[in-house]
Amino acid sequence: MTTIETALDPAVAARWRTLQARLAEIARLYPDAALASSLAAEDMVLTHAIYDGGIGLEVFTLDTGRLHAETLGMLDAVQARYGRGITVYRPEAAAVQAYVQAHGAHAFYESVELRKACCQIRKVEPLKRALAGRGAWITGQRRGQAATRGELPEAEQDPVFGLYKYNPLAAWSEEDVWHVIRALDVPYNPLHDQGYPSIGCEPCTRAIRPGEDVRAGRWWWESSDSKECGLHAGNRVIAVAVAPVKSTSV
């Protein structure tokens, strides 16, 4: 038996093999595709599948300037483990400064509009730069993560950024994710052990209480139906479930 087959529960091992095959197929169809990593658990599973499996896909992250030290520490952890780094995109300093001068350093607490404006500067605009010129991107989203992700397809035409988007963990459970992490010794953000199932910017993320939704700690002062930052604004749209075959002329 292989290491994977002995380390993982048979059902999860089957999911893992399907995941690796899916990522390899994405790399074949879209050699310029990349994983947008938040450096959280789901994205570390995908990073492990890509890097440990020798799949030629780029992994990048968005350093918003407000991340936890533990999150930033994952960059060194990935480099040490896999010998491959993660590309880092940062917001435009002038835009951040203008927002702070106009509204204050913590204006995102005042309204959904100001919070989303902050996310636009620190996350959405850098993501647009990261995706420019690519044919597809990959995320670690799962259907069980939030009310806005309940209809999440495994593949979709992204209505926000105008390229193809893959969510290969869409049908995975939280238990599947952690089974893989533990069994394959995948590095993960230590904040997960401190009650943070979902991790974003430090001022906008708190640990959750027993029984709370996994994303209750994200923008906890807002209602659950607004808890997206703009990176996945199309989640409210039920998209197609099967990826088209890429034309050779693309």
Query: What amino acid positions are annotated as catalytic residues?
Result: 229
With residue 23 as reference, give the H or E element that holds it. helix 10-29
Q: What is the DSSP string of 94-135?
A: HHHHHHHHHH-TTGGGT-HHHHHHHHIIIIIHHHHHHHTT-S
Evaluate if residue 189 carries a pLDDT over 80.
Answer: yes
Q: pLDDT per residue over 7-50, tens digit each?
A: 888 999 999 999 999 999 999 999 999 999 999 999 999 999 99
Comparing CA positions, the residue from 33, 8, 1, 63 lying closest to residue 175 is: 8
The structure's pTM equals 0.85
Range of 2-11, 67-76, 234-243 with top mean pLDDT? 67-76
Which two structure tokens, joined as six digits, stand for 225? 């139906």
- For residues 173 and 142, what is the distance between their CA atoms, to the nearest angstrom? 7
Q: What is the mean pLDDT of the chain?
A: 88
Q: Which CATH class is domain 3-236?
A: alpha beta
What's the pLDDT at 235?
A: 47
Per-residue pLDDT tens over the stretch 111-164? 999 999 999 999 999 999 999 999 999 999 998 876 666 678 999 999 889 999
Positive or negative torsion for Cα 11, 15, 16, 18: positive
Name which of 112, 97, 91, 77 is nearest 204 in CA terms. Answer: 112
The answer to whether residue 196 scores a pLDDT higher than 50 is: yes
Mean per-residue pLDDT for 59-71? Answer: 98
Give the per-residue pLDDT at 234: 53
Q: State residue 150's pLDDT score.
A: 64
Q: Tell me what pLDDT residue 33 has.
A: 98
**What are residue 138's DSSP bridge partners?**
35, 166
Length of the chain: 250
For residue 24, give the 3-state DSSP assignment.
helix
Q: Are 141 and 152 in contact (CB under 8 A)?
A: yes
Split at pLDDT 50, 70, 90, the class of 223 is confident
DSSP conformational letter for 67: B
Per-residue pLDDT, 222: 87
Q: Whose CA is closest to 136, among 5, 214, 244, 16? A: 244
Measured in degrees and rounded to the nearest 5, phi and psi for residue 12 equal -70, -35
